Structure 1
Amino acid sequence: MTDTLSPSATAAYVDRSGTTHQLPDAAADAQVRADDRGHVFHSWSAQAKIDPMPVAAGEGSTFWDYQGNAYLDFSSQLVNLNLGHQHPDLVAAIQQQAGRLATIQPIMANDVRGELARRIAEVAPGDLDKVFFTNGGADANEYAVRMARAVTGRRKVLSMYRSYHGGTAAAISLTGDPRRWANDPSDGSVAHFFGPYAYRSPFHATTEAEEAQRALEHLENLIVLEGAATVAAVIIETIVGTNGVLVPPAGYLPGVRALCDKYGIVYIADEVMVGFGRIGEWFAVNHFGVTPDLITFAKGVNSGYVPLGGVVISDRIAAHFDDVAFAGGLTYSGHPLACAAGVATFEVFERDAILERVRDLGSRIVEPALRAMAERHPSVGEVRGVGLFWAIELVRDASTREPLVPFNASGPDAAPMAELAAACKAAGLWPFTHFNRVHVAPPLVITEEELVRGLAIIDEALEVADRYVA
């Protein structure tokens, strides 16, 4: 059952220092629900079919509802809360910045904006030395595409079917998953391709090496058939996030880099989800030894405490705009409160060796636990991932690899995954599920004990999926 800290109307929780905090009472819970249902319009939802849970407090890897039920946050909210709930250093940085300069327009120089840009450039690969700040990941991808089109004089952009790049106009057209279907502008400026996915290879590959080679051949064929001289950019999530935690096989991303060089195409690495420590690297491209022309980021740069995203720009791309005005801008670009939290994030990462602990926990705790689950549970078709970013792919039949639920399932068709998620929540864990997968993406500051406990909850919940195996 869910860990109820107090059954009373005025529930409480105990923070990491041992201090007890009272939560709002039942009347407050009812008011939050009433206000939400009466006035908040939610994203990606049929409004009458949702019942959002009011959240009263959070700390570290845990958040609490108004009844005092505690949930281990194994999704880091939307895979953005890399330093967890209410990290004291980030909270203090925002408070201190608000006390001396709450905001300033982006045309002016600002100390925390400049420092954060410098720190990002110092950890980015190659000559990616400039940063254009945005308000989040979607507009980061919008502006990266705008830069690529301006520099190349071309219009077309290639992106993967299994991808998500954001909900704004250009970003949703780049997106390959079903969220694009109702929003696609269909202007012919985007073409989609199959990326590597060895477990469900669209190329009938039998090895990782074959998958990489055939995926690159497929991409080059698309470039040629779409007209290489019309292609401005290829945009790729370095590790595909929501659509499967698809880790590219060795050689694939360097091969993409080579194709872009061959045809004069800008290579954009979307690191909105995997940047800033998620896999134990500042940027995931560093794990694969490749340098793109542009890197987009958001989420983990400051754990989403204040909205922030951006584009890291190579010298070649930046130089184009030395004497040509860049046609773009945002009122809140590089907002001082957001940048102050970003600078604090760098300080926490360096002081607490966050990258090293992510690599350690991923290899020593998560990977062995998930591989053991794959051996125990007939519903587990494959586990894959790096650092603290993993997916458990669930099937009805291991031999045919039939997914536990159909692609883009909803309603009764999605019932097995809904039951599994409910089992996790009842045991005190908030999971990240998508289609036929459970993702493991806890805050990077999660304790070893919490991580082991959360994995054990998933292990037990997988018995729900096992009941559907043929």
Structure 2
Amino acid sequence: MTDQHVTDTGQTAETGSRPYSQDDLERARRGKELDRKHVFHSWSAQDKIDPMAVVAAQGSRLWDADGNEYIDFSSQLVNTNIGHQHPTVVKAIQDQAARLCTIAPPHANDARSEAARLITELAPEGLNSVFFTNGGADANEHAVRMARLHTGRQKVLTAYRSFHGGTTLAVNLTGDPRRFANDTPGAGVVHFMPAYTYRSYFGSADETEETERALRHLEDMIVLEGPQNIAAVMLESIPGTAGIYAPPPGYLAGVRELTRKYGIMYIADEVMAGFGRAGEWFAIDHWGVTPDLITFAKGVNSGYVPLGGVIISDDIRQTFAERAYPGGLTYSGHPLATAAAVATINAMRDEAMVENAKRLGAEVIGPYLEKIEANHPSVGEVRGMGCFWAIELVSNPETREPLAPYGGSSEALDRVTAEIKRNGVLPFTNFNRIHVVPPLNTPDDEVLEGLNVIDRALDIADEYVERVN
């Protein structure tokens, strides 16, 4: 990385002009002061955090209020798929604001309608309607509501090691520790064991066994819970914060077969994995499976304005043809958000970003991570596709003991994370994993620079590995 010192003009001799002024720096620093006085942060003990004040962002880079420059290997919360401040999307938001800032959902709006058209055009055949929400959690809540009303059943099956959102039902759908303090008995959610080959719950020796055993387990759960009571099975096509563990071959097709067998709706949660993140428009496209409902958010407009939604099959849409759907939001299909979605999808197409993500995964990220796995005893497994990868860290390669406990961190992970950030990369870490999730249009040299920083930082993790004779 270049020298990080910033003068009072916001410049360095090495990098020249930065995309911010001294006034911007002062605003960011003032924002940090006010944040600590007044802002209540999610998923945090308020007095134990020290938020980084971001002064500017451009493409795959951002700058903090101390003048430090970072490659954004987190895409924030894995949502800035097209990078920061994409000019086409910024202009679309500005133009829409000048024309019509907001309009209530009962009215037709060209931005909302065009966004729906583009989204359904990308979806599998037979899913031709979109209900817009404000984000992924409420998209999942509404998808479940639709499935329940369509089937007349109440139970929903979701996997452990999953995340579906922070609202009341969505956090109960979630299968990770964030659910523990928010459990609501009687929410109608039943969790099952996922297909996860590296940490198989079924003692599987390979992917074929994992698929067979995981599907047998799921069918057992359906039978034992009573298929006549189950409205839906909801799965992240590729679990995101839970570990970016893609399903083994045949698993999602098998899930789809089971849901059809028992008249259960299949909800594909594509909130994080969708819109190019995994090298296809929807991650589920990798396996050619068509669900009944698809939920989305994040990458649909790169998070520039809050937006989520549910893509609805024609069959479920017909349920509400003459019967009112009992749900809605004041900002459903907000013009600024949907104008940003239109611009984002078109920019991704024009600039072949989905294809680029696929190439980056196959030719740049994947090969480099394979070298990292071979060279670091602390790396138990690397896995992913597109710009959606995880490095799973262990303290014992044979037992696969995680380098940080499920639901927590460790001294080792804290030191590795700090070293990555100190060297100019903003990482995404969760439990015992480092996720490699840069914007889909990150230049190859920046991806390699970020991977090199992670590679060097893993020397620290190696210090904590139990030496095996």
Q: Common fold, TM-score beyond 0.5?
A: yes
Q: In structure 1, what is the Cα distance between the partners aligned to 2:102 and 2:56?
A: 27
The 3-state SS of whatever aligns with 2:124 is coil
Q: In structure 2, what is the Cα distance between the partners aligned to 1:27 and 1:349?
A: 34
Please point out which of 443, 464, 468 is paired with 1:468.
464
Contact 1:361 1:388 in 2 (8 A): yes
Contact 2:10 2:17 in 1 (8 A): no
- Alpha-carbon displacement from aligned partner over 1:196-255 (angstroms, at most 9, x marks no partner): 111110000001010011000000000011111100000000001001001001100000
Q: In structure 1, what is the Cα distance between the partners aligned to 2:427 and 2:289?
A: 32
Cα 1:17–1:387 shift into 2, 3 Å: farther
Matches within 5 A, 1:447-458: 447-458=443-454
User: What's the counterpart of residue 7 of structure 1?
Assistant: 6
- Alpha-carbon displacement from aligned partner over 1:345-403 (angstroms, at most 9, x marks no partner): 11111111111111111100000000000000000000000111000000011111111
Contact 1:239 1:248 in 2 (8 A): yes
1:20 positional shift: 5.8
1:111 positional shift: 0.5
Cα 1:23–1:83 shift into 2, 3 Å: farther
Q: Kindly indicate whether residue 452 of structure 2 is the aligned counterpart of residue 422 of structure 1.
A: no
Q: In structure 2, what is the Cα distance between the partners aligned to 1:244 and 1:29?
A: 33
Q: In structure 2, what is the Cα distance between the partners aligned to 1:17 and 1:85?
A: 20
1:12 positional shift: 3.6
Q: In structure 1, what is the Cα distance between the partners aligned to 2:317 and 2:29?
A: 52
The 3-state SS of whatever aligns with 2:303 is coil
1:31 positional shift: 1.9
User: What's the counterpart of residue 303 of structure 1?
Assistant: 302
The 3-state SS of whatever aligns with 2:438 is coil
Please point out which of 428, 431, 441 is paired with 1:432.
428
Cα 1:159–1:331 shift into 2, 3 Å: same
Q: Kindly indicate whether residue 341 of structure 2 is the aligned counterpart of residue 345 of structure 1.
A: no
User: What's the counterpart of residue 77 of structure 1?
Assistant: 76
User: What's the counterpart of residue 374 of structure 1?
Assistant: 373
1:8 positional shift: 2.3
When the two chains are superposed, the root-mean-square deviation of aligned CA atoms in Å is 1.6
Matches within 5 A, 1:376-415: 376-410=375-409, 414-415=410-411
TM-score normalised by the chain length of structure 1: 0.96
Q: Kindly indicate whether residue 158 of structure 2 is the aligned counterpart of residue 162 of structure 1.
A: no
- Alpha-carbon displacement from aligned partner over 1:30-74 (angstroms, at most 9, x marks no partner): 422220110000000000100101100000000101222101110
1:89 positional shift: 0.6
Structure 2 alignment gaps of length 5 or more: none
1:280 positional shift: 1.4
1:253 alignment partner AA: L
Q: In structure 2, what is the Cα distance between the partners aligned to 1:25 and 1:296?
A: 37
1:316 alignment partner AA: D
Q: In structure 2, what is the Cα distance between the partners aligned to 1:33 and 1:353?
A: 37
Matches within 5 A, 1:27-426: 27-410=26-409, 414-426=410-422
Q: In structure 1, what is the Cα distance between the partners aligned to 2:345 and 2:181?
A: 39
- Alpha-carbon displacement from aligned partner over 1:138-164 (angstroms, at most 9, x marks no partner): 000000000000000000000011100
Cα 1:31–1:317 shift into 2, 3 Å: same
Q: In structure 1, what is the Cα distance between the partners aligned to 2:426 and 2:244?
A: 18
State the identity %: 57
- Alpha-carbon displacement from aligned partner over 1:75-110 (angstroms, at most 9, x marks no partner): 100000001111111100000000001111110111
- Alpha-carbon displacement from aligned partner over 1:150-185 (angstroms, at most 9, x marks no partner): 000000000011100000111011000000011111
The 3-state SS of whatever aligns with 2:370 is helix
1:408 positional shift: 1.3
Contact 1:13 1:20 in 2 (8 A): no
2:423 alignment partner AA: A
Q: In structure 2, what is the Cα distance between the partners aligned to 1:179 and 1:217?
A: 28
Contact 1:269 1:295 in 2 (8 A): yes
The 3-state SS of whatever aligns with 1:216 is helix
Structure 1 alignment gaps of length 5 or more: none
Q: In structure 1, what is the Cα distance between the partners aligned to 2:392 and 2:436?
A: 11
1:191 positional shift: 0.4
Contact 1:13 1:68 in 2 (8 A): no
1:9 positional shift: 3.9
The 3-state SS of whatever aligns with 2:224 is helix
1:29 positional shift: 4.6
Cα 1:199–1:415 shift into 2, 3 Å: same
Cα 1:134–1:20 shift into 2, 3 Å: closer
Contact 1:132 1:311 in 2 (8 A): yes
Q: In structure 2, what is the Cα distance between the partners aligned to 1:409 and 1:253?
A: 29
Contact 2:10 2:18 in 1 (8 A): no
Q: In structure 1, what is the Cα distance between the partners aligned to 2:345 and 2:19?
A: 30
1:6 positional shift: 3.7
Q: Matched residue pairs, number?
A: 465
Cα 1:224–1:25 shift into 2, 3 Å: closer
TM-score normalised by the chain length of structure 2: 0.97
Contact 2:134 2:307 in 1 (8 A): yes
Q: In structure 2, what is the Cα distance between the partners aligned to 1:20 and 1:65?
A: 11
Q: In structure 2, what is the Cα distance between the partners aligned to 1:459 and 1:11?
A: 31
1:126 positional shift: 1.9
2:282 alignment partner AA: F
